Amino acid sequence: MTDSQRWLQRTRQTWKVTIYLVGLVGFGGVLTYCLSLSPESVGWTILATAGGMLSFVWLAVSVRCPECGARVAWFILRTAPANQWRTRLTNLTDCPRCESTRADTLFRAFQDF
Ligand SMILES: [Zn+2]
């Protein structure tokens, strides 16, 4: 599969997944560091856990279909098995709700013209 076939690439939303990954790795690193410290770091541990959860919320809310407005990442998170959702999201070729492709849209626009 080429990058131009991927729905995330075509809709220019890969940067949203990158922010999610940076957040997850960053907060995961802070969490790992906090857990290696003494019990006084409970506040930081809670903060890092909340940050990691916020990264998931960001991904679920921000990745949307420009055609139908569906929250595509949220749909994938809910329906795909836990060990497959990320692969399924990055390999999407169409929106799971409206199954629109940019090529279809251009074709329809050409027909209307
Ligand atoms: Zn859609």
- Cα of 46 to ligand 1 centre, how many Å? 36
> In the numeric block, which tokens belong to residue 31?
């969490």
Query: Is the pTM here over 0.85, yes or no?
Result: no
Give dist(CA 32, CA 4) in Å, integer.
37
- Cα of 19 to ligand 1 centre, how many Å? 22
DSSP 71: B
Residue by residue, pLDDT tens for the chain (113 residues) are 777 789 999 999 999 999 999 999 999 998 888 888 777 778 888 888 999 999 999 999 999 999 999 999 999 999 999 899 999 999 999 999 998 555 555 555 555 55
- Cα of 69 to ligand 1 centre, how many Å? 6
Domain count, the chain: 1
pLDDT of residue 109: 57
- The distance in angstroms from the start CA to the end CA of the chain is 31
- Cα of 68 to ligand 1 centre, how many Å? 4
Beta carbons within 10 angstroms of residue 54's beta carbon: 14
pLDDT of residue 40: 72
pLDDT of residue 103: 52
- Cα of 23 to ligand 1 centre, how many Å? 26
pLDDT of residue 32: 87
CA dist 42 to 30, 33, 47, 48, 78, Å?
A: 12, 11, 9, 10, 30
Q: What residues make up the domain containing 76?
A: 3-112
- Cα of 47 to ligand 1 centre, how many Å? 34
> In the numeric block, which tokens belong to residue 48?
């890092």
